[in-house]
Amino acid sequence: MPEGNIRLIWSPESEADLLHIWAEGALRFSKEIADSHLRNVQATASRLIKQPLLGREREELQPGIRSLVIYPTVLFYRVSGDAVEVVRVLDGRRDLPTIFLADK
């Protein structure tokens, strides 16, 4: 997979997840901390353009899914062809198998 041709795609669910994560962080901590955490999530996702197989396989949740931790958040993605699709961005302390089962 040539590095220059890989696209990063955010699913509608992952975009909604980011809004939820920001709102929770702003409410619990501060807007500045919420902003900083989302920047870290987005920077981590951008790394996948150069290293799409960086995360660990999470076949137990869904075929083809990989994950990276940006504590306490977990970025779930899949690699397909010339794209890396961020599928979900969730708090890793949640019941992840149940969430992915509901997403099927």
- For residue range 52-69, what is the model confidence (pLDDT) as tens digits? 999 999 999 999 999 999
CATH class for the domain made up of 3-103: alpha beta
What is the model's pTM? 0.91
| pLDDT at residue 1 in the model | 44
Judge whether 15 and 75 are in contact, CB under 8 Å: no
Return the pLDDT at 13.
Answer: 96
HEC string of the chain equals CCHHHCEEEECHHHHHHHHHHHHHHHHHCCHHHHHHHHHHHHHHHHHCCCCCCCCEECCCCCCCEEEEEECCEEEEEEEECCEEEEEEEEECCCCHHHHHHHHC
Other beta carbons less than 10 A from residue 36's beta carbon: 13
Instruction: Look at residue 67 in the predicted model and tell me its pLDDT.
Output: 97
Taking the C-alpha atoms of residue 57 and residue 104, their distance in angstroms, rounded to an integer, is 18
Q: What is the pLDDT of residue 4?
A: 58
Mean pLDDT, each 10-residue run in order, the chain (104 residues): 76 97 96 97 96 95 96 96 96 92 81
Q: How many residues does the chain have?
A: 104
Please state, in angstroms and rounded to a whole number, the distance separating the CA atoms of residues 58 and 42: 20
Domain borders along the chain are 3-103
